[in-house]
């Protein structure tokens, strides 16, 4: 009998979600906010820290109400038990991943393997509620430091909630929203009533996300730079030292408005590589900075020892060999550029950039050798023909790499144009005129399609 009653009760519980919907008592929450605002506006009540604590709680409750049932790993049956049936279920691709999407009035939950992976909040009870809550708790502590324990509890709740919002934004691709949420979490922890050092990792996450957004919104480079530099000032560095690379990008992204940011970008990378000499990203940033003619921050030769040492510790790094090739190209040492890019192709045979640039470097080397013989005075045709044969042999080296690049990226106009030019130059060599005809026709077809 007891077993029957329990079974019946379980069946009733499972049946509940089918008839209920997500319940967010918006009117009650707004009414509570209105009363709290009236209380702090009252001269007598507003002079008490407890009144401001209550106001903070009212706004916090409004902020968290829409998603309070959610957490990563929540099973669908439990979500239905808490918030009822979704208004619709379908497939949605979010930040490059396809999920099963459950749509509710205040949010959409994304499922993977039958469990909540992340979510997007689509509606608020009160816009800016968490800011009001934070403001209220800080005011309470300012009025009466003895309220610290209650204020701390509220600040911890805000920090936890904002960190959760940040994590969800990171997963769904709302990088700006996630960055702002992490900063609010950090701000909550920075209040004296929190009684502990704020976590600089929150600044790092926010700074990184603002760096990512910087290409679309230059103002994000400014904010990202502020966040990351503050994290470093607090003694923070991620395990690999990428914070220096991201801060470099934030400074570099501001160079057009103020050239002094180029020097800041350079110094940030130099500081980073001193502390994290094995970080390929930092080294790549230095290569970019030193080999971009318009930046002109120093002699690329200064980086040779640095990158060779890095390669010694990580000889299979395609990025390091690529960077080495760029350094020697900037120095017009085409033989070393070629040797570096041969290593790139050896390590990653199907990398378009490796094959294409190796073909380009052989072409540039051929052009330089051709310039020499054109400026040279010859006493015999035989001597000229011998040198010309050597120049053509250099051009010939470029062809297989450019053909491989064209194989990787079909109908690539850059590879085609270079191939037809080289093959025409070598048209007297066996098979080269046929190659020229082939690539010239392809190039004309591509040009006609554009």
User: What pLDDT does 8 receive?
Assistant: 43
Q: Which of 236, 308, 310 is nearest to 273 (CA)?
A: 310
- Within a domain: residue 407? yes
- Within a domain: residue 440? yes
Crossing angle for the helix pair 148-172 and 49-64, nearest 10 degrees?
A: 20
User: What pLDDT does 342 receive?
Assistant: 97
- Within a domain: residue 116? no
Expressed as residue numbers, the domain containing 366 is 349-450
Structural domain count of the chain: 1
CA distance 338 to 348: 15
Residue 133, phi then psi, degrees to nearest 5: -65, -45
- Expressed in percent and rounded to 5, the helix, strand and coil fractions of the chain are 70, 5, 25
Q: Which long-range contacts (CB under 8 A, 24 or more apart) does 150-155 make?
A: 150/50, 150/53, 151/49, 151/53, 151/56, 151/191, 151/193, 152/193, 152/194, 152/195, 154/53, 154/56, 154/57, 154/60, 155/188, 155/189, 155/191, 155/193, 155/194
CA distance 244 to 187: 23
- Within a domain: residue 433? yes
Chain segment 245-277, per-residue pLDDT in tens: 999 999 999 999 999 999 999 999 999 998 988
Question: Contact at 8 Å (CB) between 202 and 163?
Answer: yes
SS3 111: strand
User: What pLDDT does 20 receive?
Assistant: 59
User: What pLDDT does 278 receive?
Assistant: 80
- Within a domain: residue 48? no
CA distance 9 to 202: 45
**216 CB-near residues (< 8 Å, 6+ apart):** none
Q: Which long-range contacts (CB under 8 A, 24 or more apart) does 268-274 make?
A: 268/244, 269/244, 269/245, 271/244, 272/241, 272/243, 272/244, 272/245, 272/248, 273/244, 273/306
Put residue 375 in one of left, alpha, beta given phi > 0 → left and psi -120 to 50 → alpha.
Answer: alpha
CA distance 156 to 239: 26
- Within a domain: residue 103? no
SS3 249: helix
CA distance 42 to 2: 57
| pTM score | 0.78
- Within a domain: residue 20? no
User: What pLDDT does 280 receive?
Assistant: 84
The residue behind tokens 């319940």 is 23
Chain segment 169-218, per-residue pLDDT in tens: 999 999 999 999 999 999 999 999 998 899 999 999 999 999 999 989 99
- C-alpha to C-alpha distances, 97 to 67, 91, 119, 132, 310, nearest whole angstrom: 22, 10, 13, 34, 35
- Within a domain: residue 267? no
Residues in the chain with pLDDT values less than 70: 1-21, 449-450
């Amino acid at each position: 009998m007891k077993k029957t009653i329990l079974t019946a009760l379980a069946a009733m519980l499972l049946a509940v979600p089918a008839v209920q919907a997500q319940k967010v008592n918006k009117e009650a929450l707004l009414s509570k906010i209105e009363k709290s605002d009236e209380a702090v506006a009252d001269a007598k009540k507003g002079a008490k820290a407890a009144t401001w604590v209550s106001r903070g709680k009212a706004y916090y409750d409004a902020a968290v109400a829409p998603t309070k049932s959610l957490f990563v790993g929540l099973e669908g049956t439990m979500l239905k038990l808490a918030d009822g049936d979704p208004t619709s279920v379908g497939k949605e691709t979010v930040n490059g991943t396809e999920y099963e999407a459950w749509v509710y009035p205040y949010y959409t939950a994304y499922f993977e393997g039958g469990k909540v992976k992340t979510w997007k909040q689509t509606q608020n009870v009160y816009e800016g509620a968490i800011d009001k809550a934070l403001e209220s708790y800080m005011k309470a502590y300012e009025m009466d430091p003895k309220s610290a324990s209650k204020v701390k509890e509220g600040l911890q709740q805000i920090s936890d909630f904002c960190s959760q919002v940040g994590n969800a934004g990171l997963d769904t691709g709302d990088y700006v929203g996630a960055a702002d949420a992490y900063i609010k979490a950090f701000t909550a922890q920075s209040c004296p009533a929190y009684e502990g050092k704020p976590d600089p990792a929150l600044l790092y996450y926010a700074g990184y996300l603002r760096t990512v957004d910087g290409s679309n919104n230059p103002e994000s480079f400014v904010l990202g730079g502020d966040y990351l530099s503050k994290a470093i000032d607090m003694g923070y560095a991620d395990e690999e030292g990428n914070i220096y690379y991201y801060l470099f990008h934030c400074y570099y992204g501001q160079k057009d408005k103020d050239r002094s940011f180029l020097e800041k970008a350079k110094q940030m990378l130099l500081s980073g590589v001193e502390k994290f000499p094995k970080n390929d990203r930092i080294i790549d940033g230095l290569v970019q900075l030193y080999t971009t003619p318009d930046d002109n921050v120093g002699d690329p030769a200064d980086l040779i020892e640095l990158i060779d040492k890095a390669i010694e510790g990580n000889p299979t790094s395609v990025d390091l060999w690529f960077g080495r090739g760029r350094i020697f190209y900037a120095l017009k040492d085409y033989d070393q550029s070629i040797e570096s890019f041969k290593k790139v192709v050896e390590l990653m045979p199907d990398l378009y950039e490796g094959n294409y640039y190796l073909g380009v470097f052989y072409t540039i080397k051929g052009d330089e050798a051709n310039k020499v013989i054109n400026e040279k005075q010859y006493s015999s045709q035989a001597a000229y023909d011998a040198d010309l044969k050597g120049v053509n042999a250099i051009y010939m080296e470029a062809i297989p790499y450019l053909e491989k690049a064209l194989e990787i990226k079909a109908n690539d106009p850059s590879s085609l144009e270079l191939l037809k030019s080289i093959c025409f130059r070598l048209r007297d060599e066996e098979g080269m005129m046929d190659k020229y005809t082939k690539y010239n026709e392809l190039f004309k077809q591509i040009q006609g399609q554009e």
